[in-house]
Amino acid sequence: IMARWLRAHSPRQAQPFVTVHCPLLSGDLMTSTLFGHRKGAFTGATADALGKVEEAEHGTLFLDEVAELTPDAQSRLLRFLNDRTYERLGDTKERQADVRVIAATNRVLEEAIREGRFREDLYFRLNVVTLHVPPLRERPEDILPLAHHYLGVFRARQGRRSLALSPSCEEAMQAYPWPGNLREVRNAIERAVILAPCDIVEVADLGLPAGVSASSPGGGAGHMPRLGGDSTLEEIEREHIARVLARVASTEASARLLGIDPTTLQRKRKRYGLA
C-alpha cells in the first residue's frame, strides 16, 4: 500500500506499477523474472521473454521482500541502479530502462549483510530514503480501515456488495495482533468474502487461529465454525472445499484460501469426487 501511495503521488502515477514478490522466485527464474531472458538461456526457456524491468518502463518497480534476492539478481540489480543498464539472461546486448525502484523487507538488512546474504553496496544504493512502517500490533487504529478497504475490493470482485463485518468481528480484528500484518488482513478478508454463508461476516469466517474471538483475542472458547450437526469430519471438509472451489477460479487461489498446497488440494478433489 505504501509503495502504491508513493507512486500515486509521483510524476509516474500514470505509468506502470510492477510488483515482484522475491520469495516466490529462485535461481535463474529470479534473474529472468527481473531482467528477461533469451530463448535457451536455461531449461524451460523456450522463447524470448521480457523482464519486469522492461514492463515497468517509465513507471515503478516494487521489489517485495528484497532481502530474498539471489546473489546474481543482487549483482544485476546493483548495476541497473548505478547506470540504468542491464542484460537479459543469456544475452550480451546491453539495454537501458527508466524505472523507479522501491524495495521493501521485513528483515534487518544489516544482519543479512553480516551473514553474507545481502550485498552491502546494494544496501547503500537502495537506502536513499527509508520509511519504517510499524507492525499492525503497534497501530491497531489502522486495522479496521484496512479491513474495510479490502472488504470493498473483494466484495466487488465476488459480486457480494451487501456483505458487512459484524460488530463482534470488528472487535476481534482490533484485538488480534496480526503477526502476518497487511497480508494476513488481506487474506482473512478475501477468505471471508468468499466463504461467508450470509451477508454478515462473523469471526469464524476470517479463518483466524482457534480461540480468537471478540472477547478473547489471545485464547478462550472463541467462535465455533458453522457446521452441520451430525456431519462427519470428511463430509464437513468436502463441503468446505466444494464451497471454495465454487467461488474461486484458480487452483492456486483455492489452495491458498484453504491453507494447503495445490498438490494436496488436487488429491482431496480426487478423493471427494470434486475434480
Domain over 227-275 is classified CATH 1.20.81: no
Is 224 a residue whose pLDDT tops 50? Answer: no
**What's the average model confidence in pLDDT over 215-222?**
40
pLDDT digits (tens, 9 = 90+) for 140-155: 999 999 999 999 999 9
Domain 2-126 sits in CATH at: 3.40.50.300
User: Would you list the domain boundaries of the chain?
Assistant: 2-126, 139-226, 227-275
pLDDT value at residue 228: 47
Among candidate residues 14, 2, 98, 106, the one with its CA nearest the CA of residue 53 = 98
Separation in Å, CA 148 to CA 165, 169, 201:
8, 12, 12
pLDDT tens figures, 31-70:
999 999 999 888 888 899 999 999 999 999 999 999 999 9
User: Is 60 exceeded by the pLDDT of residue 79?
Assistant: yes
CATH of domain 139-226: 1.10.8.60
Beta strands in 59-147 (DSSP E): 60-64, 85-86, 95-96, 100-104
Look at residue 102 and give its three-state secondary structure.
Answer: strand
Residue 219: per-residue pLDDT:
37
Tell if the pTM clears 0.85, that is, is over it. Answer: no
Q: What is the DSSP letter of 101?
A: E
